[in-house]
A and B are shown apart, each in its own frame.
Chain A
């Protein structure tokens, strides 16, 4: 059964710290892995990693895909209170990759 597991479940850090969030997956016919940030209700898209794009960076956020280990990490450097959110990892599944299987998320709280 396709599944996504994220760790840690929650994390509390101080502003300026660097954090690493983990995502491991099991999916038939891997296509891509997506990271989302969820602050209130609507998850917002961060990164998509594929076999041809295993590393992405945007400002203080970066993500790497390890296809051999079936995992991905999301790094946030110099954390700010605005980074506090739930970070979700997802992989598409199904014949056409139209369904996203999500992990339970990592709750990040950045204290000032």
Chain B
């Protein structure tokens, strides 16, 4: 498996529940990104990890959203007390190095539906 993988592929949850979304980046990629894509809209940047540096959380829409990256590899995006407006496809991407050309490779995403 050379690509970015994400799990689950689909998640249906009830309003108010917490969810965890997982991302396995391409091996050796030091940069990892989370995006959100709502219906009919482009991708919205959420958070960025680069090596051991503090993550850039500037895109997180509220304090219900958090993410961590363990061991510089796998990342988990957690949404607490989910709301219906959180329904979207959550995409993870990774890149080899943090360089200006920024070619990011995307995973297949997790489709989150909050009832």
Interface residues of A (CB under 8 A from B): 4, 6, 31-32, 34, 36, 40-45, 48, 50, 88, 90, 92, 94, 96-105
Contact = CB atoms under 8 A, between A and B. Distances in A.
B65 interface: no
Given A48-B101, A50-B101, A88 B43 contact: yes
Contacts of A36: 106
A111 B111 CA distance: 27
A42 B107 contact: yes
Main SS class of interface, A: strand
Interface residues of B, number: 31
Given A41-B89, A100-B35, 18 more contacts: A31-B101, A34-B103, A41-B109, A42-B3, A42-B108, A44-B106, A90-B43, A96-B100, A97-B100, A97-B102, A98-B48, A98-B50, A98-B56, A99-B45, A99-B48, A100-B33, A100-B104, A103-B42
